[in-house]
Amino acid sequence: MTRRIVARVIVALLIGIASGYGIGRSVASDAARGRALTMKEYVADFENYKSHLIGSDTPVWAVMIAGVLMVVAAFGIYELLVWVVDKLLAAMDRRASSTNQPGTAPPW
Q: What is the mean pLDDT of residues 36-64?
A: 86
Residue 96 clears pLDDT 70, i.e. is over it: no
Q: What is the average pLDDT value for the chain, to the nearest integer? A: 88
Hey, how many other C-beta atoms are within 10 angstroms of the C-beta on 7?
20
- For residues 85 and 7, the answer to whether their CB atoms sit within 8 Å is yes
| Nearest-angstrom CA–CA distance, 13 and 78 | 11
**pLDDT of the residue at 72:** 97
- For residues 14 and 104, the answer to whether their CB atoms sit within 8 Å is no
Name which of 17, 20, 12, 16 is nearest 4 in CA terms. Answer: 12
Q: pLDDT band for 11, please (50, 70, 90 cuts).
A: very high
Q: What is the mean pLDDT of residues 28-48?
A: 90
